[in-house]
Amino acid sequence: MRTKARNTAESGDAPVFRAFWSALDLLRPLVLVYVVGLYVHRLEQVAHPERGWVILGVLAAWTMAALLVRRRTPAWLAVELALGAGAILASGLVDSREVIEAGAPTVPGMWPATTVLSWAVLAGPLGGAAAATVVVLADLVLVRVPTTVTFHNIVILLLLGTLVGYCAEFVGVAHRAAREAEAIRARAAARERLARDVHDGVLQALSLVHRRGLEIGGETAELGRLAGEQERHLRKLIRLPVLAEGSRPVPAPGVGVARRVDLAALLRAWATERVSVVDTGPVLLAEPRAREIDAAVAAALDNVARHAGEGARAWVLLEEVGGEVVVTVRDDGVGMDPGRLDRARAEGRLGVAASIVGRARELGGDASITPGPRGTVAELRVPCDPTHGTGREGAP
């Protein structure tokens, strides 16, 4: 209960919680007015009416103090609960035993129920149920022999404390989730601004060095290739922190907990002047699974850079179709003859097969490389559900 009270206190400044407490502040005096009216209505059967007025005076003083002080601490509500339970027990000094056993209402009437609601808002369903139990025990001690009406009131009070507590706890969880999401959006926006600044300066400079180096040739071409590699790495780097902070842990069957990341955001980091990345929206996958697909795409783009010829462009298309992630890498390069891949396998050169096809099959999917006289198409199909894979999702 202490943990729930602390969590609710952390969310207590939320508008919806302020509405809860404001409603209780209004309910308490309204219930007191009703209780006083009920007491006046039955004064003829009260054995010691002056004692009842003393009890009601104490409750009225506390009600006014609650309006002025507006404290929401467990200690404050514990005193209020003690007052409510004590007022119920003190009813035995006001009414005769015959009147009590006949089912007459207690002097505080419904007033202790407001304390049960306060505990439910402060400490959730357990807090509401515990407070209701204290009030119920006080009722049972007073009446000694419970009647049908007594049991009816007990059930209503326990249900009220538990259900209102559940609602308050749910509201607290939703508020904290919304606050965390807002913080994540703020961090993501800050990193997007940083990414734009980097793009306008460093990335454009690296891109220029890359192009000019390849145009000049010789040793300068090697510098150009290195600049191009650093440009790609930097593009990925300025996006990854947002993915790490914005992702949520989700259980993967048999492999513990895996973080989910957006594969579309990973692939967009490969976009350059000669590589276009197109996606249909976010595709959330377990992080190790997304990293493997990203690595397969990196291998395909590296193959384009090495073998498609100068000036070749590449297009990366990401789709989610029927429970599968489909990634297509197409280029407009010089292409290759249909038997080239078979000869590479026969000669023991398994770069494409291991980097692209092998990764896809280990994830429970498959990949195909379709060469042609003008350009090559590599297509990966991998199930979204990691249970269809081979368990690599749990690998470091």
Question: Per residue in 121-143, pLDDT tens?
Answer: 988 899 999 999 999 999 999 99
Does residue 186 fall inside a structural domain?
Answer: no
For the beta carbon of residue 21, count every other beta carbon within 10 angstroms: 16
pLDDT in the model for residue 392: 37
User: Of 162, 178, 194, at which residue does a domain stop?
Assistant: 178
The domain that holds 293 is classified in CATH as: 3.30.565.10
Q: Which domain holds residue 326?
A: 259-396
Q: What is the mean pLDDT of residues 311-319?
A: 90
Q: Parallel, antiparallel, or unpaired: how do β-strands 314-321 and 324-331 relate? A: antiparallel
User: Of 129, 163, 178, at which residue does a domain stop?
Assistant: 178
Quick one: 135 and 19 in the same domain?
yes
Handedness of CA 32, 128, 175, 79 (dihedral sign): positive
How far is it, in rounded angstroms, from Cα 102 to Cα 147? 9
Token pair listed for 72: 């929401």
Does residue 271 fall inside a structural domain?
Answer: yes
Quick one: 165 and 17 in the same domain?
yes
Token pair listed for 392: 């690599």
Q: Structurally, how many domains does the chain consist of? A: 2
Q: Which residue has the tokens 């104490």?
A: 58
User: Of 178, 206, 225, at which residue does a domain stop?
Assistant: 178
pLDDT in the model for residue 306: 76
Handedness of CA 60, 66, 72, 76 (dihedral sign): negative
Q: Higher-confidence residue: 196 or 42?
A: 42
How far is it, in rounded angstroms, from Cα 94 to Cα 235? 79
Q: Higher-confidence residue: 388 or 344?
A: 344
Question: Per residue in 61-80, pLDDT tens?
Answer: 999 998 888 777 899 999 99
Does residue 235 fall inside a structural domain?
Answer: no
Does residue 224 fall inside a structural domain?
Answer: no
Q: Which residue has the tokens 């590449």?
A: 314
Residue ranges of alpha helices (H) inside 97-247 are 97-101, 111-143, 148-198, 204-216, 219-237, 240-246
Quick one: 280 and 161 in the same domain?
no
Does residue 321 fall inside a structural domain?
Answer: yes
Quick one: 173 and 306 in the same domain?
no
Nearest to 252 by CA among 56, 392, 63: 392
pLDDT in the model for residue 217: 78
> What does the buried/exposed string (b/e) look like for 79-91 if buried means 16 or more CB atoms within 10 Å of the residue's CB?
ebbebbbebbebb
Does residue 248 fall inside a structural domain?
Answer: no
Cβ proximity of 296 and 263 under 8 Å: no
Question: Per residue in 159-216, pLDDT tens?
Answer: 999 999 998 888 888 877 777 778 777 776 776 666 666 655 676 677 778 777 777 8
Ranges 54-63, 265-274, 344-353: which has the least confidence? 344-353
